[in-house]
Every structure is written in C-alpha cells, then in structure tokens.
C-alpha cells in the first residue's frame, strides 16, 4: 500500500490547491527582515529588537509617536475570508496602546484594519476589538500579561476570540481591502512606549 504524501494528509488530495498559511515565532537572535518591515508612522526613533520574551517594540519619545511592523504592504489575505492569530502584551504601564491583527497599509489612520487593541490611557482602559475606526469593548481588563487572540473575517462579520473564548463579533465597519499581518504600538505622552510580540499566524480561509 502506497503511503500518502504529507500534502495529501494536510489537504485531503493532491488535486486540492492548498490555502496560504503563514506562521512566525518571534524568538532567538535572528533578524525579522526581510519578512517584516518596521515603519515609524508618526515621529522617529522607534525600534524593534529581539528580547528574551519576544520581539520588543519601542516608540520614539514624543507624544503620538507610533511604529508598526508588517509585510511592507504586501497584502495577501482576503478581507472577506481570512484569519490572523497572535500573542502580544504591553510592557509600559500606561499612556499607550498596542495592536495586533490585520491592516491594509501602514499610515497613521484607521482604514481597513482588524485589531486586538489593548489600551491604558485616561478613561480609555481596556481590551477592544477594533475594525476600522470602531471599537467594541471585550469586557476584559487591561493588564501587562500576554494575550492570545484569533481574528476571523467573513463576508458578514469579524469575530475576535481571546484566550480561546469568543469575546466580540462585529458586523459593521469591517475592512474592505485585502490585508497584511501587522503589529502597532503608540505612546500618548512624551515618553517611549514598549510592547512585545511573540507569535503570528495568518491564513486565507
């Protein structure tokens, strides 16, 4: 009896065209380029370096300085049929936010995105599901712990799961253009903000 190929085992048949899948662990001392590109979106001086517990993202030191890492606008994921999974955390105690998920570009805007949004600033404290400019509170408290998220986009909705439980389903203000994995951090004050990224997985469904 002939053994089935790994491709057959994963996809059911050699005649099936496999869907695209991307997996990346932010570990070790390897540079993240050429896969990931860092953008100083507002301000300058933002950096990314590998730390013991994942990729360290650090903004510049002026208010609203923010940086994003992404695929340099190589948008390979269908905004109506895709998933992105990741693991992020804030390191700075307050006056900042960190995002992880999908975005269509890297401008300082809220166009065509689906993010887990973790913020601690004034009255904006919490963990949110953000699609475009709209946010829905998950009801989870903001903290400095790791947060695993899974965002699934369909033609009619965006579904956010945090730590394996469905937290929010959104049906309005959904992305309308193909997407790339992205991570972003912003400082609200004149001091650098710091966050971590540990894992990213993205696929068309």
Is residue 2 a part of any domain in this protein? no
The enclosing domain of 105 has a CATH number of 2.60.120.200
4 belongs to a structural domain: no
Q: Is residue 77 part of a domain?
A: yes
Per the domain annotation, does 24 fall within a domain? no
- Domain enclosing residue 37, as ranges: 32-204
Q: What is the mean pLDDT of the chain?
A: 94
Q: Quickly state the pLDDT bin for 139 (edges 50, 70, 90).
A: very high
- Of 24-28, 66-70, 159-163, the range with the lowest mean pLDDT is 24-28
**Does residue 141 sit within a domain?**
yes
Calpha distance 29→18 (Å, rounded): 31
Q: How large a percentage of the chain has pLDDT more than 90?
A: 81
Q: What is the pLDDT of residue 3?
A: 81
HSE toward the beta carbon, residue 6, CA cutoff 13 A: 0
Span 4-16, mean pLDDT?
81
Instruction: DSSP for 42-111, please give it.
Output: ESS--EEEEETTEEEEE--SSTT-EEEEESTT---B-TTSEEEEEEEEE-S-SSEEEEEEEES--SSS-S
Predicted pLDDT at 127: 97
Look at residue 194 and tell me if it is in a domain.
yes
29-39 pLDDT per residue, tens: 777 888 999 99
Domain count, the chain: 1
Residue 62 lies in a domain: yes
Question: How far does Cα 114 stand from its chain's mean position?
Answer: 8
Kindly state whether residue 23 falls inside one of the protein's structural domains.
Answer: no
């Amino acid at each position: 009896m002939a053994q089935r190929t790994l491709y057959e085992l994963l996809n059911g048949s050699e005649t099936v065209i496999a869907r695209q899948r991307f997996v990346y662990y932010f570990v070790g001392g390897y540079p993240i380029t050429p896969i990931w590109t860092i953008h100083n979106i507002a301000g300058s001086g933002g950096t990314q370096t590998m730390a013991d517990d994942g990729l360290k993202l650090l903004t510049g030191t002026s208010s609203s300085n923010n940086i994003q890492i992404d695929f340099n606008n190589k948008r390979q994921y269908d905004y109506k049929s895709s998933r992105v999974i990741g693991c992020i955390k804030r390191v700075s105690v307050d006056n900042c936010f960190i995002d992880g998920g999908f975005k269509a570009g890297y401008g300082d805007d809220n166009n065509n995105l689906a993010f887990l949004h973790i913020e601690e600033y004034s009255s904006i404290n919490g963990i949110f599901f953000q699609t475009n400019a709209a946010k829905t509170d998950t009801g989870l408290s903001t903290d400095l712990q790791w947060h695993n998220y899974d965002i699934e986009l369909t033609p009619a909705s965006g579904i956010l799961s945090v730590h394996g439980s469905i937290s929010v389903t959104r049906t309005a203000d959904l992305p309308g253009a193909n997407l790339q994995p992205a991570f972003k951090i912003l400082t609200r004050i004149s001091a650098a903000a710091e966050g971590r990224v540990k894992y990213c997985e993205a696929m068309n469904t």
